[in-house]
Amino acid sequence: MNRRQRIFMYTIQFIAIIAAGLFVYMESPDERWLAAGLCWVFGIIQVTRLVLLSIPLARFSSVMVISLQFIIAWVVQAIAGGFVPQTLFFVLIAELGYRAPRRFSFPFMLLCFGGFASATAFHEGFPAPAALTFVLPRFIEYVLFWGFSYLAQRSTLQRNELQRAYDRLRLYHREMEDKSIMQERLKLSRDIHDSAGHYLTTSMMALETAKRLLEKGEVEKARAQLQTSKHQVQETMKEIRKTAHSMAHTDGFIDLSAALETLLVSTRDTSDVRIEWQFDEPLPPLRAEQEMLLYRMLQEGLTNGLRHGGCTFFSYTLSTQVPGQLIARLEDNGRTVTKNVSYGFGLRGLSARAEELGGLLRFEALAEDRNGMALELRLPVKDRSPYTPS
């Protein structure tokens, strides 16, 4: 219950109590001051308990004060009799019906009706059966007061639970937005690292080759290498623009084999290294994410081999020999690392993407009689069967 609702409920209660005091003052000429005074004392206690002290209902002190108010309501009913003095009982029933659990509020309602009946009997001098026609129908009023208060309690609880659920949903939605933003940022950083990093590495290798050619006096060949380096820088700019404009979209390749072969040829021609490759054809059906991962894996392997391994030879195979798997393996003759093989940023990103697609990425040293490292990617794929349309 919010502050506005509390103010409204308390205002209704206090108006009802004041009106009851005025009514019993006018209708009880013999003991008008006592009956009216008790009504207003009841109101003062109610204001003190609910507004000034805000005593929780479950406290012993609150139980004692409510018991005192019950006694005051009984005395006013016994003095004044009639219908209006019941207002004090109704105030207590409405409050407990709204604030207390049903196992307490319902018995308290029955207690208030019993108090009303006994006080009326005391006022009338233990009346004849005719007075019972006044008391017994009042039971319906007590049940209705309690029922409306209890329904208001259930409505408030459900509204509060709905608000909490909405707050949790809003928090979850905000967390999902933050997670989505982080994923997009991570994807952007991976794409820039994989594509731009590869082109810049090959461009740097071309510049080194051009430098050596110039030292040998082979100007035309050096000019060709510089032109190649320029082309690689242009490709880097195109890749960065493409990544920036399509962060959340992953495009596949019209012909993955052709794209991989173009990458291998470009690296061979610009880096002055020897590269051999072999593809098993036809390749199984691949999703766009799988094609892009295969391409990025080859980019990362070539880039790391050139930049960190000092490689002069690469061997790349794309095999479908294992049923249900597509295996891409890149071997080099560079520096061998046998202990504490760790993944850098690029390999960590590739490994995470491989796991998301149900695959596995491994980076390991070659057999003991060979120098170099191997980068292998295994992806689960659907086997192409001659009886299954492609």
Each residue's pLDDT tens digit, 54-91: 878 878 888 899 999 999 999 988 888 888 888 899 98
Looking at residues 99-125, what average pLDDT do you find? 89
Q: Which tens digits make up the pLDDT trace of 4-46? A: 767 777 788 788 888 887 877 777 666 778 888 888 899 888 8
> Strand pairing of 325-332 and 313-319?
antiparallel
The pLDDT, as a whole number, for residue 281 is 83
Residue 50 lies in a domain: yes
Q: What share of the chain is helix, strand, coil (3-state, %, to 5)?
A: 70, 10, 25
- Domain of 378, CATH number, reads 3.30.565.10
Residue 229 lies in a domain: no
Domain that holds residue 357: 253-389
Residue 321 lies in a domain: yes
What residue type is assigned to position 123 of the chain?
A: H
CA 358 – CA 375 distance, rounded (Å): 17
The pLDDT, as a whole number, for residue 317 is 94
pTM (2 d.p.): 0.45
At which of 74, 102, 126 does a domain end?
A: 126
CA 255 – CA 164 distance, rounded (Å): 52
More confident residue, 41 or 177: 41
Look up residue 141 and give its two tokens.
């009023």
Position 279 pLDDT exceeds 90: yes
φ, ψ for residue 58, nearest 5 deg: -80, -10
φ, ψ for residue 314, nearest 5 deg: -130, 150
The pLDDT, as a whole number, for residue 248 is 44
CA 255 – CA 186 distance, rounded (Å): 27
Which range is most confident: 155-164, 171-180, 249-258? 155-164
CA 360 – CA 222 distance, rounded (Å): 41
At which of 66, 93, 126 does a domain end?
A: 126
Chain centroid, CA 165 distance in Å:
12
Position 244 pLDDT exceeds 70: no
Residue 181 lies in a domain: no
Banded pLDDT at 247 (limits 50, 70, 90): very low
Strand residues in 257-366 grouped as ranges (E): 274-279, 313-319, 325-332, 360-365
CA 137 – CA 86 distance, rounded (Å): 13
Looking at residues 369-377, what average pLDDT do you find? 87
The pLDDT, as a whole number, for residue 37 is 86
CA 26 – CA 86 distance, rounded (Å): 16
Asked if residues 225 and 206 have their Cβ atoms less than 8 Å apart, the reply is: yes
Position 212 pLDDT exceeds 90: no
At which of 126, 149, 173 does a domain end?
A: 126
Looking at residues 167-189, what average pLDDT do you find? 68
Q: How many CB atoms lie within 10 A of CB 240?
A: 16
Token pair 């409505």 is at which residue? 155
The pLDDT, as a whole number, for residue 153 is 86
| 360-365 β-sheet, strand order | 274-279, 313-319, 325-332, 373-380, 360-365
Position 249 pLDDT exceeds 50: no
Asked if residues 285 and 390 have their Cβ atoms less than 8 Å apart, the reply is: yes
Q: Which tens digits make up the pLDDT trace of 318-335? A: 999 888 899 999 999 888
More confident residue, 30 or 276: 276
More confident residue, 132 or 291: 291
Cα end-to-end span (Å), the chain: 63
Position 206 pLDDT exceeds 70: yes
Q: What is the mean pLDDT of the chain?
A: 80
Total domain count for the chain?
Answer: 2
The pLDDT, as a whole number, for residue 243 is 59
Asked if residues 120 and 83 have their Cβ atoms less than 8 Å apart, the reply is: no
Residue 99 lies in a domain: yes
Residue 226 lies in a domain: no
Banded pLDDT at 390 (limits 50, 70, 90): very low
Q: Which tens digits make up the pLDDT trace of 351-363? A: 888 998 899 999 8
Q: Which residues partner with 319 through β-bridges? A: 327
- Residue 123 backbone zone (phi > 0: left; psi -120 to 50: alpha; other: beta): alpha
Look up residue 79 and give its two tokens.
């003095």
Looking at residues 116-135, what average pLDDT do you find? 76
CA 124 – CA 134 distance, rounded (Å): 11
